[in-house]
Chain A
Amino acid sequence: MKVDFDILSDKKRFQDLCEELNRQHTGPDYEILWNKKIDFPAYDLASDVYFEYGDKPNDYPGDETSSFFLGDRDKPKNAVLDRYILKEGDPIKARFEQELGLKASRMMMNVQKQGTYIPPHSDRGKSFLLECRDKGLTDDLEWLQIKRYIYFLQDRQVGQFFQVGDSQLDCKAGDLCQFPMFKVHTTANAGPQVRHVLAITGV
């Protein structure tokens, strides 16, 4: 099934697509591809980047009909990450692109502080895919050729939750975790230490 930008622009249709792909999926929720310790520079993080609720499937996987947050006043202050988007030419970005065979990617250092969380959602990656379209990379692109990875910079600490599908990730520093683009995921950090991950979307 090829990437359809009309679906990508329609939250409900994208949610339906993810649910259908998830129904068809017979593999695991995630896989650890490899483990390598990689040194990262100290990036200049933007603080408290708010979770974009437009990307979340409203009611997945329960049968509730209410949306997550109805307006600004309902937005909890803790649904945030500190974030840095790696620039083109960044050696870390180049290394991961080469190792993963990616023609294009968006990589974000996501730092989850103590007491913050991200609600369940599936990422559309719309702006990234629009960039890919401008580069001519999406003409024959299948949905499942959109790849998602999370690289863990630290061992998991007690109180740090990262759920993909029905599975809780229990990762070690250096683990590269891959999961299908349609998988719902959610995180929370109840532990006493911040958590650093590199979130990668690529084609």
Chain B
Amino acid sequence: MKIDPHLMNDRKAYYFFCEDLFQKHKAKGEPCYKKVWEGEMEHPEDLKFQKNVQFELPHPLELAKVENNYFEAIDYEVDGPAMSCADGDSYEFAEGSPYTNDVLDRAVIPQKHRLNDKVKEILGLDYARSMINTQLTGNIIPPHTDKNSWMMNYLIDQKVDDNYDWTDIKRYFYFYDDQKYGQMMMMGDEMVTWKKGDMIEYPFWMKHTSANAWHQARPILSITGCGKKVTWNNLD
């Protein structure tokens, strides 16, 4: 199934696309995430963090490119812990967002940074975008599925988007610290557990959410990649 970047501009169509992939994924008995690597990754000290980057409503693909949004997220309310809803209201709340703390501190790793090269090498990726996302005490990220607009735009700009299938889009989290009590993350309908140095992979369509009730920050390296290495059962 070749990537159709224009699907990104129709949030409802993209949502149902993700929902369909999720259902097929679960029907095959696949986990919502899996640990794929463990080891030590650099936490560069020379990065400039953006403070309080807020969870964004979804934008069209072109706008995401201009605005360099991070949370090119898309979501609809669901009726249970699984991604099983058919439809519902969106996060565009009629009376405004109920959240004030749906934020992360983040630093994007420059494309030519050695850390990005290491990420590509370890994970067998042709392209990667990595960023450190630090969730401070008391902050949450609502359930969402990422549009990965940056990667889509990058593939278009590189004129290589025809070479890839949807399943070549990869998502990973690398955990810089042990999980602390009250640091919670959910992938699909599964709770995530981790140790320092764990790298987990999850399908790009997987809904996820997190909260940090512990008194220390939770830093992770969030990676969006593209590569031909098969990491999940083929869903075509």
B81 touches A186 (CB 8 A): no
B98 touches A115 (CB 8 A): yes
The interface residues of chain A lying within 8 Å CB-to-CB of B210 are: 190
Question: Smallest Cβ distance from A53 to chain B, in angstroms?
Answer: 10
Chain A window 166-202, contacts with chain B (Cβ cutoff 8 Å), 1 for yes, 0 for no: 0010100000000000001011111111000000000
Interface size on A, residues (CB 8 A): 37
Does A72 lie at the interface of the complex (its beta carbon under 8 Å from any beta carbon of B)? Answer: no
CB closest chain-B residue, reference A68: B215
Q: How far is the CA of A69 from the CA of B184 in the complex (A)?
A: 20
Chain A window 118-140, contacts with chain B (Cβ cutoff 8 Å), 1 for yes, 0 for no: 11100000000000000000000
- Please judge, given known A-B contacts A161-B186, A190-B142, A191-B143, whether A78 and B100 are in contact too, CB under 8 Å: yes
Interface residues of A in 46-62 (CB under 8 A from B): 60-62
Interface size on B, residues (CB 8 A): 37
A184 touches B101 (CB 8 A): no
Q: How far is the CA of A67 from the CA of B137 in the complex (A)?
A: 13
Which listed segment binds B: A13-21, A85-93, A152-160?
A152-160
CB closest chain-A residue, reference B100: A115
Listed residue (B78, B182, B207) with the most chain A CB atoms within 10 angstroms of its CB:
B182
Question: Smallest Cβ distance from A99 to chain B, in angstroms?
Answer: 27
- Please judge, given known A-B contacts A115-B98, A120-B182, A192-B142, whether A161 and B80 are in contact too, CB under 8 Å: no
B186 touches A189 (CB 8 A): no
The interface residues of chain B lying within 8 Å CB-to-CB of A113 are: 98
Interface residues of B in 114-154 (CB under 8 A from A): 137-143
Q: Which of A76, A117, A155 contacts B211 (CB 8 A)?
A: A117
Q: How far is the CA of A187 from the CA of B183 in the complex (A)?
A: 10
Q: Which of B77, B78, B91, B213 contacts A186 (CB 8 A)?
A: B213
